[in-house]
Amino acid sequence: AQSVTQLGSHVSVSEGALVLLRCNYSSSVPPYLFWYVQYPNQGLQLLLKYTSAATLVKGINGFEAEFKKSETSFHLTKPSAHMSDAAEYFCAVTDSPYDRGSTLGRLYFGRGTQLTVWP
């Protein structure tokens, strides 16, 4: 089974500052990777996904993430934070499509990172 580690359960930045949310996965075979955002009392919304195409993935709301196989990482960044970015962010991975017996579509989630944006 996959595991996902999100470093930092809480991240605080000032409005206009760089946002960096960290995510590392455990698989030696590259899985598919996702970042989801959850606003208060809402469900999860997909920000972006990596599915073995370009390693730099652009998502909604100005977010992007870079897949680094050598570091087993998929960190989420945004050059300039906005107040509306305050939310909880989850990194998730699927089983690798190259693993026999994998269940594609089954997602493993990190514990989440709460992003606070100060004015």
Rounded to the nearest whole angstrom, what is the least distance from the CB of residue 117 to other proteins in the complex? 20
Please, which of residues 80-99 interact with other proteins by CB under 8 A? 90, 94, 97
Q: Which is nearer to other proteins, 82 or 111 (CB)?
A: 111
Would you count residue 112 as binding other proteins (CB under 8 A)? yes
Separation CA 82–CA 91 (nearest Å): 20
Of 7, 19, 1, whose CA–CA distance to 83 is shortest?
Answer: 19
Of 79, 78, 105, 104, whose CA–CA distance to 89 is shortest?
Answer: 78
Q: Is the dihedral of CA 80, 85, 87, 91 positive or negative?
A: negative
Would you count residue 74 as binding other proteins (CB under 8 A)? no
* Residues at the site binding other proteins, with contacts judged by CB under 8 A: 4, 9, 32, 34, 36, 41-46, 49, 51-52, 90, 94, 97, 103-112
